[in-house]
């Protein structure tokens, strides 16, 4: 049976931002199927469009799929805590790092290509629903897969923004091929923040931005996405709605861009969504009090539901930036911020377990917090069902779930 859903046109974003989108009047046809026939489902849905029956899975499993968590170890044993989390709470994803921040030491998860392949295989072998296995592989300084460990060199985004598109495609094809060969299926990149403040301590100064020009950023991000998709690797646009104009580092504390944010920072998201190139978007822990005076974007229904879902028509997966970063943990409390992020519209909560402290039970603790919030009525079950559908559709699209 086929059903038609009219995709919302680009509405006025907000009076504060002064953006106006032209309604495209586009229609997308979706085929409704039962759980075992997910492979026939095409396209994505906004929150209000998801009318098909809830997949027959327990609440505990759905919540587990909404967590992407870091852990320590270059190998795993049968009794490893991360494997228990994968088996017992159906953990949806893991993220690997080379450096362990709490202990200020190497290695954490990454030593060599062969070791990483074996680690990923062992992690996946414990999962009833295949894991999203993530890594930060932007290029330049933000690349966990460094040449000194035997991985390929990837130029920084700033370099790629100045290079020709042919070089972009060639470099990102090599990167995607490497990720695929290692077993990674989720790259937490590309950065589509505009380089509006070259002295920005977390974006511009680290050469993480392609350019201050949104059209240039769109072209480079498009090349990145195309090459990753061709090899079965999911890309993640970040950091929504834009971290490029900031003057502070959200790893350390709350960042306010109310006076520096520019309308054009939203253009890469708008245009790449319109082109059908976006599967996952990562939120930024930034405040823009003109839009939401009380919450950073990660915790804001205004940013995630109104602007990203409704106005921009994004129906894919929203993943938070690390929920243990100082901007969140020092201002809202970890337990409360997890609940608020899901209420706001995050589908996956990223918990690096690689900030100030390490907790081997971080995954199960986060799972328990969300479970209690749902059972206590703070988070509607429909909110969990919507995220679960999006996550499984993403995994099906990339042949993780059949």
Please write the tens of the pLDDT for every residue from 201-256. Answer: 999 999 999 999 999 999 999 999 999 999 999 999 999 999 999 986 555 567 89
Residues in the chain: 402
Element (H, E) at 138: strand 137-139
- Residue 27 in contact with residue 4, Cβ under 8 Å? yes
Measured between alpha carbons, how far is 27 from 296 in angstroms, rounded to an integer? Answer: 33
CB 221 within 8 A of CB 214: no
CA distances from 372 to 196, 298, 379 (A): 42, 21, 9
> 119-139: per-residue pLDDT in tens?
999 999 999 999 999 999 999
Predicted confidence (pLDDT) per residue in 128-177, tens digit? 999 999 999 999 999 999 999 999 999 999 999 999 999 999 999 999 99
Distance from C-alpha of 280 to C-alpha of 272, rounded to nearest angstrom: 11
**What is the reported pLDDT for 330?**
83
11-34 tens-digit pLDDT: 434 434 443 332 333 222 222 232
SS3 1: coil
Q: Report the run of H or E that residue 68 belongs to, with start and end.
A: strand 67-70
- Write down the residue that tokens 């200020």 correspond to: 104
Q: In whole angstroms, give the CA distance from residue 9 to residue 213.
A: 25
Nearest alpha carbon to residue 240 among 165, 305, 332: 305
Residue keyed to tokens 């320590």 = 72
CB atoms within 10 A of CB 162: 14
Look at residue 61 and tell me whether its pLDDT is greater than 60. yes
Residue 356 CA to chain centroid, in angstroms? 21
Q: What's residue 27's pLDDT?
A: 28
> Is residue 88 scored above 80 in pLDDT?
yes
Angle at 157 between CA 151 and CA 163, to 5 degrees: 100
Backbone φ and ψ for 100, nearest 5 degrees, come out as -100, 105
Rounded CA separation 379/167 (Å): 46
How far is it, in rounded angstroms, from Cα 71 to Cα 95? 8
By DSSP bridging, strand 2-6 and strand 27-31 are antiparallel
3-class state of residue 180 by DSSP: helix
pTM above 0.85, yes or no: yes
Higher pLDDT: 23 or 357? It is 357
Contact between 144 and 137 (Cβ < 8 Å): yes
Q: What is the pLDDT of residues 268-278, one digit of tens each?
A: 999 999 999 99
pLDDT given at position 229: 98
169 is catalytic: no
| Tokens 């996550």, residue located | 391
Distance CA 44, CA 314 (A): 8
Q: Which of 159, 169, 251, 263 is catalytic?
A: 251
At 250 the pLDDT is 53
- What pLDDT does 252 receive? 54
Q: Residue 10 pLDDT > 90, yes or no?
A: no
**What are the DSSP calls for 295-331, one per residue?**
--GGG-HIIIIIIIIIIT---SEEEPSPTTSHHHHHH
Residue 268 CA to residue 281 CA, distance in Å, equals: 11
What is the H or E stretch that residue 55 is in? none
pLDDT value, residue 38: 35
Residues in CB range of 205: below 8 A, 6 or more apart = 198, 199
Q: Which of 136, 321, 322, 347 is catalytic?
A: 321
What is the average pLDDT score of the chain? Answer: 88
Tell me which of 31 and 197 has the higher pLDDT. Answer: 197
**Catalytic residue list contains 321:** yes
């Amino acid at each position: 049976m086929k059903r038609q859903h009219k995709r919302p046109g680009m509405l006025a974003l907000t009076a504060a931002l002064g953006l106006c989108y032209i309604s495209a009047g586009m229609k997308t046809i979706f085929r409704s199927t039962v759980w075992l026939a997910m492979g026939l489902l095409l396209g994505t849905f906004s929150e209000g469009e998801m009318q098909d029956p809830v997949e027959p899975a327990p609440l505990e499993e759905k919540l587990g799929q909404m967590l992407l968590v870091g852990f320590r170890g270059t190998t795993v044993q049968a009794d490893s805590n991360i494997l228990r989390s994968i088996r017992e709470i159906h953990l949806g994803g893991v993220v690997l790092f080379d450096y362990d921040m709490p202990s200020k030491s190497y290695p954490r998860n990454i030593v060599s290509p062969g070791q990483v392949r074996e680690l990923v295989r062992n992690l996946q072998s414990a999962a009833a629903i295949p894991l999203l296995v993530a890594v930060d592989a932007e290029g330049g300084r933000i690349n966990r897969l460094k040449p000194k460990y035997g991985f390929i060199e990837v130029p920084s985004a700033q370099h790629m923004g100045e290079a020709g598109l042919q070089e972009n495609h060639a470099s990102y094809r090599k990167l995607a091929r490497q990720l695929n060969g290692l077993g990674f299926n989720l790259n937490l990149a590309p950065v589509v923040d505009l380089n509006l403040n070259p002295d920005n301590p977390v974006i511009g100064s680290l050469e993480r931005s392609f350019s201050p020009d949104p059209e240039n950023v769109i072209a480079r991000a498009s090349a990145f996405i195309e090459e990753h998709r061709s090899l079965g690797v999911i890309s993640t646009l970040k950091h929504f709605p834009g971290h490029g104009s900031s003057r502070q580092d959200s790893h350390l504390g709350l960042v306010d861009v109310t006076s520096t944010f520019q309308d054009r920072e939203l253009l890469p998201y708008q245009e790449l969504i319109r082109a059908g190139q976006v599967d996952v978007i990562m939120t930024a822990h930034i405040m823009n009090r003109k839009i939401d005076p009380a919450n950073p974007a990660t915790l804001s229904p205004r940013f995630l539901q109104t602007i990203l879902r409704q106005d921009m028509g994004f129906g894919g997966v929203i993943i938070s930036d690390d929920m243990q970063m100082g901007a969140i943990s020092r201002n809202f409390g970890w337990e409360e911020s997890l609940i608020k992020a899901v209420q706001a519209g995050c589908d996956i909560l990223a918990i690096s377990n690689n900030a100030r402290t390490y907790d081997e039970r971080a995954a199960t603790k986060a799972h328990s917090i969300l479970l209690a919030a749902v059972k206590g009525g703070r988070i509607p079950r429909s909110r969990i069902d919507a995220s679960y559908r999006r996550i499984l559709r993403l995994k099906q699209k990339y042949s993780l779930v059949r």
